[in-house]
Amino acid sequence: MLNEFAYCPRLGYLEWVQGEFADNDDTVEGRYHHRNVDRTQQRARPRGEGNDNEVPKIHERSVWLGAESLGLSTKIDLLEGEGRRVTPVDYKRGKRPHVPQGAYEPELVQLCAQGLLLRDHGYECDEGVLFFVGSRERVRVVFDDELVARTVQLAAGMRAVAAAGPIPPPLVDSPKCPRCSLVGICLPDELRYLTVGEGAAAPPRPLVPARDDALPLHVQHPGARIRKDGEVLQIVDDDKVIGEARLAETSQVVLFGAVHVTTPVVQELCQRGIPVCYLSSGGWFYGITHGMSHKNVELRRRQYAVAGDPARCLALARRFVQAKIANCRTLLRRNHPSPAEDLLSDLKGDIRRAGQADRLDVLLGVEGTAARRHFSAFAEMLHPDESEAATFDLESRNRRPPRDPVNALLSLAYAMLTREWTVVLFSVGFDPYLGFYHQPRYGRPALALDLMEEYRPLIADSLVLTVVNNGELRSEHFARAPGAVSLTAAGRRKFIEAYERRMSQEVTHPVFGYRISYRRVLEVQARLLARHLSDEISEYPSFTTR
Ligand code: SF4
Task: List pLDDT tens digits, range 495-543.
Answer: 999 999 999 999 999 989 899 999 999 999 999 999 999 999 999 999 9
pLDDT band of 51, cuts 50, 70, 90? low
List the one residue out of 7, 21, 522 whose CA is nearest residue 295: 21
208 — pLDDT class (breaks 50, 70, 90)? confident
Which of 107, 105, 94, 162 lies closest to 134, judged by CA? 94
Nearest CA to ligand 1 atom 5: 11
Taking the C-alpha atoms of residue 128 and residue 139, their distance in angstroms, rounded to an integer, is 8
Calculate how far, in angstroms, residue 181's C-alpha sits from the geometric centre of ligand 1: 8
* 55 or 291: which leads in pLDDT: 291
Percent of the chain at pLDDT > 90 equals 58
Taking the CA of residue 177 as reference, the ligand 1 atom at the shortest distance is 2
For residue 29, is pLDDT > 70? no
If one compares 222 and 38, the residue with the highest pLDDT of the two is: 222
Largest CA distance in the chain: 98
3-state per-residue secondary structure call for 488-511 = CHHHHHHHHHHHHHHHHCEEECCC
* Beta pairing class for 484-487 and 260-261: unpaired
Residue of 411, 427, 412, 437 lying closest to 519 (CA atoms): 427
**How does residue 351 score in pLDDT terms, banded at 50, 70 and 90?**
very high
Please name the residues in contact with 139: beta carbons below 8 A apart, sequence gap of 6 or more. 96, 102, 103, 129, 130, 131, 132
What are the phi and psi torsion angles at 460 (to 5°)?
Answer: -75, -55
Q: Which of 26, 183, 536 to mutate to test the pocket of ligand 1 (most atoms within 8 A of CB)?
A: 183
pLDDT band at 110 (very low <50, low <70, confident <90, very high): very high
Which residue is closest in CA terms to ligand 1's atom 7?
Answer: 177
pLDDT averaged over every residue in the chain: 88
User: Rounded to the nearest whole angstrom, what is the distance from the C-alpha of residue 172 to the centroid of ligand 1?
Assistant: 9
Given a cut of 70, whether residue 198 has pLDDT beyond it is no
* pLDDT score of 414 more than 60: yes
Name the CA dihedral angle for 297, 299, 304, 310, rounded to a multiple of 10 degrees: 170
Give the pLDDT confidence score for residue 46 in this predicted structure.
47
Q: Does residue 178 register a pLDDT over 60?
A: yes
Question: pLDDT-based confidence at 43, cuts 50/70/90?
Answer: low
E strands, 373-525, in order: 478-481, 484-487, 506-508, 515-517
Residue 47 reports pLDDT greater than 50: no
DSSP run (H or E) holding 5: helix 2-7
The yes-or-no verdict on residue 158 having pLDDT over 80 is yes
Q: How confident is the model at residue 388 (pLDDT cuts 50, 70, 90)?
A: confident
59 — pLDDT class (breaks 50, 70, 90): confident
Does residue 7 have a pLDDT over 90? yes
- Distance, CA of 235 to CA of 223 (rounded, Å): 10
As to burial, measured by CB atoms within 10 angstroms (0-12 exposed, 13-18 middle, 19+ buried), residue 284 is middle
- pTM of the complete model: 0.84
Interhelix angle for 518-533 vs 489-504, to 10°? 60
Segment 42-47 mean pLDDT: 50
Q: For a substitution probing ligand 1, which of 1, 3, 4, 8 has the most ligand atoms within 8 Å of its CB? A: 8
- 12: Cβ below 6 Å to ligand 1? no
pLDDT at residue number 460 = 96
Average pLDDT over residues 130-138: 90
d(CA 546, CA 404): 31
Q: What is the pLDDT of residues 285-305, one digit of tens each?
A: 888 898 876 778 889 999 999
Q: Relative to the CA of 186, which ligand 1 atom is closest?
A: 4
pLDDT level of residue 481 (50, 70, 90 thresholds): confident
Partners of 260 in the β-ladder: 225
* Residue of 17, 182, 208 with the most ligand 1 atoms within 8 Å of its CB, for mutation: 182
Q: What angle do CA 357, 360, 365 make, to 5 degrees?
A: 75
Across the strands, what pairs with 255? 219, 278
Secondary element (H or E) of residue 52: none
pLDDT for position 39:
57
Coil, strand or helix: which one is 166?
coil
Measured distance CA(164)–CA(298) in Å, rounded: 12
Tell how far CA 436 is from the center of its chain. Answer: 20
Range of lowest pLDDT (35-39, 247-251, 388-392): 35-39
